[in-house]
Structure 1
Amino acid sequence: MTNMVIDWINTLKSANKTCLIQDGKYKVHYVFANKDEMTEEYSVDTYQLMVRKWRRKSTGLTRVESWEYEVGESLSPTMALPNETLRENINNPVFLRLDKKEHFQWRIRNLPYSFDTYAITVEDDQKHIAVRTSNKKYFKKFSIPDIERFGLNLNKESLTFDHTNNTLVISYKKPEVILNLERMVKAELRKVKDDGEKSDIPAQICCLS
């Protein structure tokens, strides 16, 4: 077990954690020592992670930071304010992460090009995945925060992709250390009672030594 894995375990252990079952989801809220917040939502039926979002501590006195999605997306529609003259084009590519049981997975919507247009690669730094198109119409480079937190390198053999219905689907096989942690999360969530009340939840991985 690497030092970075141990550091993340200790960070989770020391956070204030509460869990609420609501709308068919386990909703877990973390407040860390540095006042950063993390919220996760899991399906009650499958224990699959559906949402993970962060709110970082602001350096300003009155500034309120918005939630930043690591997994999932906001269900609030994008709307222009009355005095706005511009809004995001709904046909622009939309990038989001929606994981599966054994894979990290990303979907990039509104990409109409044929399958052979895309090149999906692990960059030389082994920390980022890059999406390129041969027609130069789209480029995206991104990392996997879960992998970064553990100080692991990306493996090109774990990367696959598909394209259907104008959506590029990129999958990365989860390493065993991630799968082990997710099994422990599932075990902890099973302890939460469906009584509509918030309850303390042990650290995701408190049983690891």
Structure 2
Amino acid sequence: MSDWFTKLKNAKKSCIIDGNLKKIHYDFGDGKEMVEEYDLTTNCVTRRAWRYKKDLKSESAWEIEVGDPEPNYNVEEKCMIREDPSQPFVSRRITKKSLEWRIRNLPYPVDVYSVTIEKETYSLIVRTSNKKYYKKVLIPDLERLGIQLEQENVSFTHKFNTLIITYQKPNKLIEFEKALFEEIKQIQPKNYAEDVNNCKPS
């Protein structure tokens, strides 16, 4: 199995069940933490977030890798200049057979877009022929496993001002996810009320 699988297996882990979600908190012992949330119906990751310790006393905010960005309810920011909510933004989904990205607030017709792979950086390059939009979308899932990107696995559609990009999962990724979920099933969940702060990004 891969080095990444070994790192996950050796990490300090805790687990809680919250409704239909199983939440796993990984502590890698090097200042890095990861939280994954699994849908117990599909066994797919619905959310993945990372946190890094800046120094011995402080921690950074959670960075969302899979799932929608965290809403910001900070009252102090009401009087500050904020990013236009109509600007394009990316969210990620994982299904049984594919990796998926949704780029919202893109009004251009589907024939304007191109999505090409960049093997060296494990990225998808999203462009519009009218030069109104450009985005490099990283695929850390494949980079961690050293799985090369293939253009034939990429497809996309456009509807409701949203570009939906799909990357068909390689067999190696599917096998990795199955093996990891078998490991996760062995982790005994703790009481939700006691452990919620560990397993819920905020």
Q: What is the TM-score of this pair, normalised by structure 2?
A: 0.85
Q: Please give the alpha-carbon distance, in whole angstroms, between the structure 2 residues aligned to 1:50 and 1:116.
A: 30
Q: Deviations over 1:12-67 (max 9, x none)?
A: 12100111101320000000031310000011222111001110221x35432011
User: Percent of aligned positions with the same letter in both sequences?
Assistant: 39
Q: Please give the alpha-carbon distance, in whole angstroms, between the structure 1 residues aligned to 2:157 and 2:68.
A: 21
Q: What is the TM-score of this pair, normalised by structure 1?
A: 0.83
Q: Please give the alpha-carbon distance, in whole angstroms, between the structure 1 residues aligned to 2:75 and 2:81.
A: 7
Query: Which residue identity is paired with 1:20?
Result: I
Aligned counterpart for 1:127 among listed residues 99, 122, 133: 122
Query: Paired residue for 1:207?
Result: none
Give 3-state SS (helix, strand or coil) of 2:94's partner.
coil
Give 3-state SS (helix, strand or coil) of 1:70's partner.
strand
Q: Please give the alpha-carbon distance, in whole angstroms, between the structure 1 residues aligned to 2:78 and 2:157.
A: 41
Aligned counterpart for 2:146 among listed residues 147, 151, 154: 151
Query: Which residue identity is paired with 1:165?
Result: F
Question: Is 1:17 the counterpart of 2:33 in the alignment?
Answer: no
Unaligned 5+ segments in structure 2 are 196-202
Unaligned 5+ segments in structure 1 are 200-209
Query: Paired residue for 2:24?
Result: 28
Q: How many residues align?
A: 194
Is 123-132 or 23-32 further displaced after alignment?
123-132
Question: Is 1:56 the counterpart of 2:56 in the alignment?
Answer: no
Distance 1:194 1:62, change over 3 A: closer
Query: Paired residue for 1:47?
Result: 43
Q: Are the aligned partners of 1:126 and 1:153 in contact in 2 as well (CA < 8 Å)?
A: no
Query: Paired residue for 1:164?
Result: 159
Q: Are the aligned partners of 2:104 and 2:163 in contact in 1 as well (CA < 8 Å)?
A: yes
Give the CA deviation at 1:143: 1.9
Aligned counterpart for 1:100 among listed residues 95, 102, 105: 95
Q: Are the aligned partners of 1:26 and 1:189 in contact in 2 as well (CA < 8 Å)?
A: no
In terms of fraction of residues, the more helix-rich structure is 2
Give the CA deviation at 1:183: 1.7
RMSD of aligned Cα (Å):
2.4
Give the CA deviation at 1:123: 2.4
Give the CA deviation at 1:192: 5.8
Question: Is 1:138 the counterpart of 2:133 in the alignment?
Answer: yes
Query: Which residue identity is paired with 1:100?
Result: T
